[in-house]
A and B are shown apart, each in its own frame.
Chain A
């Protein structure tokens, strides 16, 4: 048995082995600092945004009662004798969400079920990148397309309704097409997490492909599918550019898809242009609407996260 003298622990004064670090290991500390710093930045940004929404909102609610804000249906911010009934804006937002889900749920789910349960490998490989491209199209381009291409198509398809240049229905439709990849990719993840043994079990009971997909795979992936829908809804609530460009700018409490309606996001996008004096009620209004928007999307995202966690727990 030979022991290299280099490896033998040099006995220190007390005769104990020297187990102190052989070098100061600065690299470890630097990496830790960078990573922890990144985490702090993202948390700090979120906190800063929330605070910057809350502060002016508090000023706003000193001038306008919160009850009037949440229950009023007249909106005329910036005008003489201004009305701040946010339901007028909320009706636009709700319509955008509704019409967009009308498109994104069936199409997105259809895509997910087709790609995961039916499509051969090569189709899946070809279609998935196309969906990713769709997800990456700038919303301003979709807005433009909605305004100049989609509106005439919709007017042709539904001639019994009177379609103007701007309509909240067409804006919602365009947002829905944009959200298809959100629904399809999250639903597809959920379907993929369903163990194949369940499908095999159902096939072994003499089920057809449709029965296996609809009665086994979809129910087993249900919470993930619901999560994908909530995420798409949340995306539609927050979508600004398409709604601003194609949805029109009239603040009115209506549920008519052919009407131009100012949604919450389009109000913010339209009003926050820099020529509004800080500290005025109109200025504060933007933040109050922003805070409400933030609250809605926060609740939706929290719901979605809970749903996604649930389907992960079942099968992982």
Chain B
């Protein structure tokens, strides 16, 4: 399944990993090691007739954190939502190209989006706990999928521990989740997601509604969770991408001169270290050094 010579984007020839600065405009990508979870090729996302994202290709490797960065409106959240078919819920949204998940295109006709989302969970920008108790929030997924009462109890405890929330809430499991602070709510949403024992956790700017202390806790948690899960995170915060991610995809927008329509494109995908220290594309460099975006 995993193919070390597969390029994440662009044509099939893989340049060897270079330590020196490569020639400009070569879409340099490190060869991917480890098991491939997602392999995206020529992915387009349309909303009605509007093409929001075009020709995206990259790979997501097991137990890594892949960060999607880029300026507002570059389609990174749209792309993230196409990885677990959350875009299906938006009328008029269409995904083209290949979103291969362990070798299976999740947009094939025989794929049930409910099954996809059981394996590929999602944490949203704004914490969205259900107006239920802390326990019932975490137990929701397992309950829907038929876990027994005793199973649920151990899953809840286990998930809250993994989400670093157990110590704070273990005596208040019956309290409404809405009484928690924003940072706690977001960790609860992470616990709720990992209670499903997913394969992949998608995170859509999970810290943007949180203060720096809560953000630091979530970041620590992400690094910890990557030991067990594969994580794809959209972030506006470049330091965050630099701190936590293994690989980074930098998106930008292309403006059609005549129609003024903006389309998101993948500019560069590489090891996070390279993206931030030695990017091959000028647009990436401008963005990560703060000259643009």
Residues of B near A241 (CB, < 8 A) are none
Interface residues of A in 165-219 (CB under 8 A from B): 195, 197-208, 211, 215-216, 219
Chain B minimum-CB-distance residue to A197: B128
Establish whether residues B144 and A215, one from each chain, have CB atoms under 8 Å apart when the complex forms.
yes
Residues of A near B178 (CB, < 8 A) are 314
Residue in contact with B140 in the complex, picked from A121, A200, A205, A220, CB distance below 8 Å: A205
Does chain A have a CB within 8 A of B226?
Answer: no
Of the candidate stretches B68-76, B115-123, B228-236, B267-275, the one touching chain A is B115-123
Establish whether residues A201 and B117, one from each chain, have CB atoms under 8 Å apart when the complex forms.
no
Residue in contact with A206 in the complex, picked from B117, B126, B130, B131, CB distance below 8 Å: B117
Residue in contact with B141 in the complex, picked from A121, A205, A220, CB distance below 8 Å: A205
Residue in contact with B128 in the complex, picked from A121, A200, A206, CB distance below 8 Å: A200
Establish whether residues A220 and B130, one from each chain, have CB atoms under 8 Å apart when the complex forms.
yes
Residues of A near B144 (CB, < 8 A) are 205-207, 211, 215
Interface of chain A, main secondary structure:
helix
A205-B196 contact, Cβ under 8 Å, with A211-B144, A215-B144: yes
Establish whether residues B86 and A205, one from each chain, have CB atoms under 8 Å apart when the complex forms.
no
Establish whether residues A204 and B140, one from each chain, have CB atoms under 8 Å apart when the complex forms.
no
Total interface residues on A, using CB and 8 Å?
20
- Contact code string B115-155 (vs A, CB < 8 Å = 1, else 0): 10111011010101111100000001100110000000000
Establish whether residues B117 and A204, one from each chain, have CB atoms under 8 Å apart when the complex forms.
yes
- Docked Cα-Cα span, A198 to B126, in Å, equals 11
Residues of A near B130 (CB, < 8 A) are 198, 201-202, 216, 220
Establish whether residues A197 and B141, one from each chain, have CB atoms under 8 Å apart when the complex forms.
no
- Docked Cα-Cα span, A202 to B193, in Å, equals 10
- Docked Cα-Cα span, A270 to B130, in Å, equals 52
Establish whether residues B128 and A207, one from each chain, have CB atoms under 8 Å apart when the complex forms.
no
Establish whether residues A200 and B89, one from each chain, have CB atoms under 8 Å apart when the complex forms.
yes
Min CB gap A192→B, angstroms = 16
Establish whether residues B193 and A205, one from each chain, have CB atoms under 8 Å apart when the complex forms.
yes
Residues of A near B193 (CB, < 8 A) are 204-205
Establish whether residues B114 and A208, one from each chain, have CB atoms under 8 Å apart when the complex forms.
yes
Min CB gap B77→A, angstroms = 12
Does chain A have a CB within 8 A of B84?
Answer: yes
Establish whether residues B114 and A207, one from each chain, have CB atoms under 8 Å apart when the complex forms.
yes
Establish whether residues A205 and B131, one from each chain, have CB atoms under 8 Å apart when the complex forms.
no
Establish whether residues B189 and A206, one from each chain, have CB atoms under 8 Å apart when the complex forms.
no
- Docked Cα-Cα span, A206 to B88, in Å, equals 13
A205-B128 contact, Cβ under 8 Å, with A200-B86, A200-B89, A215-B144: no
Residues of B near A219 (CB, < 8 A) are 131-132
- Docked Cα-Cα span, A264 to B140, in Å, equals 47
Which residues does A use to contact B, with CB under 8 Å?
121, 195, 197-208, 211, 215-216, 219-220, 314
Which residues does B use to contact A, with CB under 8 Å?
84, 86, 89, 91, 114-115, 117-119, 121-122, 124, 126, 128-132, 140-141, 144-145, 178, 189, 192-193, 196
**10 closest A-B pairs (Cβ-Cβ)?**
A206-B118, A204-B122, A205-B141, A197-B128, A206-B117, A201-B128, A211-B144, A220-B131, A207-B144, A206-B114
> Can you list 6 A-B pairs with a CB-CB distance of less than 8 A?
A197-B126, A200-B128, A203-B117, A204-B117, A206-B114, A314-B131
Extra pairs beyond A198-B128, A211-B144 (5, CB < 8 Å)? A198-B131, A200-B128, A201-B129, A204-B86, A208-B114
